[in-house]
Amino acid sequence: MSDQQYPLTFGYPAKQGLYDPASEKDSCGVGFVANIKGQPSHQIMLDAYHLNSRMDHRGGCGFEANTGDGAGILMALPHSFFHKVAKDELNKDLPPAGSYAVGIVFLPQDATEREICIDTINGVIAEEGQQLVGWREVPIDAKGANVGPAALMAQPFIAQLFIAAEDGLAGDAFERVLYVIRKRFTHSLRNNESLKEAKQVYACSLSTKVIVYKGMLTPGQLFPFYRDLTNPAFETHLAMVHSRFSTNTFPSWDRAQPNRFMSHNGEINTLRGNVNSMVARQGKVATDAFGDKLESVFPVIDSDCSDSGSFDAVLEFMLLSGRSLAEATMMMIPEAWQSDRNMAQEKKDFYEYHSALMEPWDGPASIVFSDGKYIGAVLDRNGLRPSRYYITHDDKCIMASEVGVLQVDPANVKLKGRLQPGKMFLIDFDQGILIPDEEVKQIISSKRPYGEWLAKQRVTLADIAGTEEAHSLDSENTLQRMQSFGYTTETMQFMLIPLVTEARDPLGSMGNDSALACLSDKPRMIYDYFKQLFAQVTNPPIDSIREEVVMSLRCFIGPEGNLLETTPEQAHRLSLEHPILSNRQLVDLKNIDHQGMRSQVIDITFEAGEGNGFMNAIERICAEATQAISDGYAFIILSDRNTSKHRIPLSALVATGAVHHHLVKKEQRTQIGIAVETGEAREVHHHCLLTGFGADAINPYLAFEALWQANKEGLLGDKYPTEDDLVAGYKKGVAKGMMKVMAKMGISTLQSYRGAQIFEAVGLAEEIIDKCFAGTASRVQGVNFDVLIEESRRRHSLGYPAKDSERIPVLNNPGDFHWRTGGDAHMWNPNTIFNLQLASRNNSSEAYAEFARHVNEEATQQCTLRGLLKFRTDVNSSIPIEEVEPASEI
């Protein structure tokens, strides 16, 4: 390839405007062809080429039809081919299989930078005690493959690296050293700011077992581009293929698939939470597998990984740390076991035990995985991606995202079927057999007595139940506290009372026409600045009512164990059936002293007279959370019960998000549970936000008191005779509401939803996002900490005014849902409705013009972002009409 430099920025653009590289997603076609008996042949390669080419429609291309989003192939290492290549091209003899590795490495186009990279990689190989056999420039034919200009401009230099193991090293031990080598040079070079093309450096694979050829190609270009693949001597017993559709994101050479161990068709909806949890686990994991080199492989997930790449990185880490490929996959994509009455108890116990170690990677997914010894596939618990397979009498297995990818004589078909939700199948090449789902999982789940371990180690709320009296209704101070936490008459009328009387999240119609929180001149709660995300395009939602069997709110909370160990103590966590805690349950959690579990309460209020109290409180509670871990506490309880005339509460959401991300950054989040005791949260949206930003459990004590007071006043009828009954009704309504919100994003379990940040902020400044909600999109900026502080003080003064004579004896009604004089702005108000009615009744163009003016100018400017936009009239760049494409040709 030429050493010419192109005017191109490598890697992904920086975060800007509406674009965020963290949103990169894949949605694709995937499949494999394999000889079950492990017999290599070039026919497997030919079949794989046809299979992938016939899924061309599942991949994507750019504005140039010959610039693909990505295509690739993973194969078992063709040993005879590479022995010949090494002898003919490098004049070297390779050691036996298992004692040498081959990798495909993308390098900079610039010759000088490429030499720097090669020298660095050679140095790392030597430092790790392995032998460099040599480098080979991979033969390519871009012209013959008709690769498009955009792909050619971004194309890296593609090299092949040969490494021989030191004496006495082979197999899995050598694989771990190769992993360390790859991690070390990747971290060093991709983060080297002196290299303009640093992001070109990428190792597609480096292994003794498998090799990956891939690129920013279409499926039909893959084999013509890489000449090795069409060589008849290139023989393998398995070939996994992938065609990429980069969903609303940028294609690139490195993000083409397969990854190093798997290919993925789908989307990981809980990615942010999964990645944060994995970062936090790095502070706890320990293993002898890597000797003293464990720190060198961190971070396990590189910051610029896609959802598929992140999944692959964790799968690889667990595999090389000693877990089997099937076991690791079962941990990451478990079946819907919680409500399955027909599932074997042994398998249920396996899933429950491992849920104490890792949350599911949830979302629609068909995943094919292989380490060369095995190849298999698994489908997500909802079965939201197609996966069909054929087994033939001549021992060939064909699996793909759809049927018809290869012509198979019906007489040769021994077995055919489709993967079902949560199911897996596995081919063991050493034994030459296909192992069905039940057998695979029975073998794995019966290896250890998971049920016995759970029975001895799992802690429930019943185990920690105490006798101390819990808080009940405090009628004298309830109104005052409700006012200070922003309760209104509409909160009760439209949200809380329907939540318990109808036992579901209240519904509205025709959308919300009130002003966005960032445009409102009323003190709005920070929850109002967030919008829930929802499944779109190829990412379907779930029906949480009809598909209730796949939904679950059950979670383990408290300190996690070592992800890489399998011991009884890993199950020693508190199991919750519901994230909402009653006052009784919270008192038990505060007083817990059970098998080493203790909790500490952290006050999240600050002195009203303290000038910088808000920001100081954030720093204080983060420091106290860290200290609680050092002191051996299992739980912290962020509490605003000390709210009074002289103490102002931090928003529970601000406090939770700040502590959660503080602990994630310090790699300590999985070492403690976070419960929130707050008078602020009452609606389903509030609980979703608190959970989404890291809360493990929530006690909305003031919501309970507000409902108890309403019941006392006869507003709830006679449905709830006791306080406990009312709390149970509230929890039932919240459960339905939270599952509805989760399902809207295609997420099935609260354990996955927790910390996943499935929200977008509208009108929050970067300083708030970075401190409390890191990784959340806030595309228009806006409100900063100064505004939040002022709003919290104004809200507090409603309940605790400077003078007692200024106290209002009823809840405020700012008109959040219905327009009121002096209340919040609404797009539909008396002016718009009057003029619309007048125009329709009298056929008055003047009245309609006034209606249109008010809607298009006044109402939208007060309520919406689009109302702030104006057409630029200072730009004189009109297009000649003859240059406009006719509608008939579009």
618: left (phi > 0), else alpha (psi -120 to 50), else beta?
Answer: alpha
Residues 858 and 776 in one domain: no
pLDDT of residue 13: 60
DSSP state of 491: I
Mean pLDDT of 426-430: 96
pLDDT of residue 247: 65
- CATH number (domain holding residue 772): 3.20.20.70
pLDDT of residue 99: 96
What confidence tens digit (pLDDT) does each residue in 322-362 have? Answer: 999 999 999 999 999 999 999 999 999 999 999 999 999 99
- Asked, for residue 847, whether it belongs to a domain, the answer is yes
What is the DSSP track for 465-499?
A: ---SPPP---HHHHHHHHHHTT-BHHIIIIIIHHH
What confidence tens digit (pLDDT) does each residue in 126-142 have? Answer: 999 999 999 999 999 99
pLDDT of residue 2: 35
C-alpha distance from residue 9 to each of 154, 156, 467 (Å): 9, 12, 65
- Asked, for residue 559, whether it belongs to a domain, the answer is no
- CATH number (domain holding residue 435): 3.60.20.10
- Asked, for residue 539, whether it belongs to a domain, the answer is no
Confidence band of 203 (pLDDT split at 50, 70, 90) = very high
The residue assigned the tokens 């009823």 is: 810
Reported in sequence order, the residue ranges of 371-478 that DSSP labels E, i.e. its strands, are: 374-379, 388-392, 396-400, 413-418, 424-428, 433-435, 459-460
C-alpha distance from residue 265 to each of 113, 213, 367, 702 (Å): 35, 18, 6, 45
pLDDT at 865 over 90: no
What is the DSSP track for 203-232?
A: EEEEESSEEEEEES--HHHHHHHBGGGG-T
pLDDT of residue 186: 97
Among 60-69, 459-468, 778-787, the minimum mean pLDDT is found in: 60-69
Of 418, 417, 739, 688, the residue nearest 549 (C-alpha) = 739
Percent of all residues in the chain with a pLDDT value above 70, rounded to a whole number: 96
CA 835, CA 849: separation in Å to the nearest integer?
A: 9
pLDDT of residue 18: 60
Of 313, 308, 193, 205, the residue nearest 255 (C-alpha) = 308
Residues 183 and 291 in one domain: yes
Mean pLDDT of 181-193: 96
CA 771, CA 766: separation in Å to the nearest integer?
A: 8
What confidence tens digit (pLDDT) does each residue in 793-846 have? Answer: 999 999 999 888 888 889 988 888 888 888 888 888 898 999 999 999 999 999
- Asked, for residue 821, whether it belongs to a domain, the answer is no
- Asked, for residue 382, whether it belongs to a domain, the answer is yes
Confidence band of 9 (pLDDT split at 50, 70, 90) = very low
Backbone angles phi, psi at 530, to 5 degrees: -110, 140
Which is it for strands 673-677 and 697-699: parallel, antiparallel or unpaired? parallel
pLDDT of residue 8: 43
Residues forming the active site: 28
pLDDT of residue 444: 97
User: What three-state secondary structure class fits 23?
Assistant: helix
Quote the tokens at residue 99. 């004692």
pLDDT of residue 403: 84
**Between 879 and 701, the higher pLDDT residue:** 701
pLDDT at 211 over 70: yes
What confidence tens digit (pLDDT) does each residue in 697-730 have? Answer: 999 999 999 999 999 999 998 899 999 999 999 9
**554 exposed, middle or buried (CB, 10 Å; 0-12, 13-18, 19+)?**
middle
pLDDT of residue 857: 79
**Between 869 and 775, the higher pLDDT residue:** 775
Percent of all residues in the chain with a pLDDT value above 90, rounded to a whole number: 78
- Asked, for residue 586, whether it belongs to a domain, the answer is yes
pLDDT at 5 over 80: no
Residue 866: how many other CB atoms lie within 10 Å: 9
CA 43, CA 49: separation in Å to the nearest integer?
A: 10
Among 183-192, 384-393, 549-558, the minimum mean pLDDT is found in: 384-393
Confidence band of 22 (pLDDT split at 50, 70, 90) = low
Per-position b or e across 562-583, b if 16+ CB within 10 A of its CB: ebbebebebbbbbbbebbbbbb
CA 295, CA 282: separation in Å to the nearest integer?
A: 9
Residues 716 and 852 in one domain: no
- Asked, for residue 665, whether it belongs to a domain, the answer is yes
Quote the tokens at residue 365. 């997914």
pLDDT at 613 over 60: yes
Residues 667 and 736 in one domain: yes
Q: Name 844's Cβ contacts closer than 8 Å, sequence gap at least 6.
A: 838
pLDDT of residue 821: 87
Asked if 255 and 246 touch (Cβ cutoff 8 Å), the reply is yes
pLDDT at 858 over 90: no
pLDDT of residue 504: 87
pLDDT of residue 4: 35
Of 353, 280, 336, 272, the residue nearest 673 (C-alpha) = 280
Residue 691: how many other CB atoms lie within 10 Å: 27
Instruction: Give the end of a domain, one of 739, 773, 805.
Output: 805
Of 819, 799, 818, 801, the residue nearest 810 (C-alpha) = 799
pLDDT at 6 over 50: no
Among 441-445, 743-747, 820-824, 834-838, the minimum mean pLDDT is found in: 820-824
CA 166, CA 164: separation in Å to the nearest integer?
A: 7
Asked if 85 and 110 touch (Cβ cutoff 8 Å), the reply is no
Provide the mean pLDDT of the chain: 92
Asked if 259 and 244 touch (Cβ cutoff 8 Å), the reply is no
Instruction: Give the end of a domain, one of 805, 840, 871.
Output: 805
pLDDT at 175 over 60: yes
Confidence band of 366 (pLDDT split at 50, 70, 90) = very high
Among 694-708, 845-859, 875-889, the minimum mean pLDDT is found in: 875-889
Residues 479 and 451 in one domain: no
DSSP state of 239: E
Residues 229 and 158 in one domain: yes
pLDDT at 109 over 70: yes
- Asked, for residue 246, whether it belongs to a domain, the answer is yes
Residues 451 and 479 in one domain: no
Mean pLDDT of 489-518: 88
Of 24, 47, 50, 54, the residue nearest 401 (C-alpha) = 54
Total number of domains constituting the chain: 3
Residues 54 and 144 in one domain: yes
pLDDT of residue 26: 45
Structural domain of 854:
827-890
Quote the tokens at residue 251. 């294609």
What confidence tens digit (pLDDT) does each residue in 584-610 have? Answer: 999 999 999 999 999 999 999 999 999
Residues 782 and 675 in one domain: yes
Residues 189 and 255 in one domain: yes
Of 56, 63, 67, 70, the residue nearest 308 (C-alpha) = 70
Residues 495 and 444 in one domain: no
Residues 795 and 834 in one domain: no
